């Protein structure tokens, strides 16, 4: 019994506890740094760069009843509620969108990425073609990846 208490006393000495805790903190710090580095690396590749130009290569609406063209939204909340309803199939929380707050883009229309919201689910874009040229609208991120292609930045003057 005395032998066990002596080992416990040795383990609980201040210097041994400090060394043990420093080792654990060091290992935890390394794991945190690795995870932060991986998150930053993933974050850069997942979102398009601001200022990049994208062209509509196919119309986003497959239904004839909803009309041709890719829809962009005047309000970010309209785009976000539509995205959430599609993502989670919760159509009871779907917000009705006034048709006057929608713009339909046609094939080969260009948009410029200004910013992203809601962790990349919604992109703020500037229209570069059509009647609403120069105005800011919101586009659902999945539709950007599915229906648009990024402009190639190749120098033809070389």
Least trusted range by pLDDT, from 59-68, 112-121, 136-145: 59-68
One domain, residues 133 and 68:
yes
158 in any annotated domain = no
Supply the pLDDT for residue 22.
86
Q: Has residue 75 been placed in a domain?
A: yes
Question: What is the radius of gyration, based on Cα positions, of the chain?
Answer: 27
- The answer to whether residue 69 is domain-embedded is yes
37 and 58 inside one domain? no
pLDDT classification of 113: cutoffs 50, 70, 90: very high
pTM over 0.75: no
pLDDT digits (tens, 9 = 90+) for 84-98: 888 888 777 666 777
Same domain as 34, residue 61: no
Q: Assign 114 a pLDDT band (cuts: 50, 70, 90).
A: very high
pLDDT in tens, 14-44: 677 788 888 889 898 888 888 877 766 654 5
Evaluate whether residue 157 is within a structural domain. Answer: no
Does some domain include residue 39?
A: yes
Instruction: Identify the pLDDT of residue 156.
Output: 47
Q: Is position 155 within any domain?
A: no
Looking at the 3D structure of the chain, how many domains does it have? 2
Determine the average pLDDT of the residues in 133-156: 83
One domain, residues 23 and 65: no
Q: Are residues 67 and 127 in the same domain?
A: yes
- Provide the domain limits for residue 6: 2-46
pLDDT in tens, 50-68: 889 999 887 755 544 456 6
Asked which of 2-6, 15-19, 72-76 is least confident by mean pLDDT, the reply is: 2-6
The count of other CB atoms within 10 Å of the CB of residue 139 is 25
In a domain, 98, yes or no: yes
* Per-position b or e across 40-73, b if 16+ CB within 10 A of its CB: eeeeeeeebeeeebbbbeebbbeeeeeeebbbbb
Residue 155 has pLDDT above 70, yes or no: no
């Amino acid at each position: 019994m005395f032998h066990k208490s002596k080992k416990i006393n040795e383990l609980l000495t201040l210097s041994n506890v400090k060394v043990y805790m420093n080792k654990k903190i060091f290992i935890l710090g390394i794991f945190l740094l690795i995870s932060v580095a991986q998150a930053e690396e993933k974050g850069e590749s997942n979102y398009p760069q601001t200022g990049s130009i994208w062209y509509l290569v196919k119309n986003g609406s497959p239904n004839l009843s909803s009309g041709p063209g890719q829809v962009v939204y005047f309000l970010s909340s309209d785009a976000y509620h539509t995205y959430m309803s599609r993502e989670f199939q919760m159509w009871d929380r779907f917000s009705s969108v006034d048709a006057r707050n929608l713009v339909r883009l046609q094939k080969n229309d260009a948009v410029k990425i200004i910013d992203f919201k809601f962790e990349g689910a919604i992109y703020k874009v500037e229209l570069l073609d059509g009647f609403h040229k120069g105005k800011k609208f919101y586009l659902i991120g999945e539709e950007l990846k599915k229906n648009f292609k990024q402009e190639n930045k190749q120098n033809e003057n070389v």
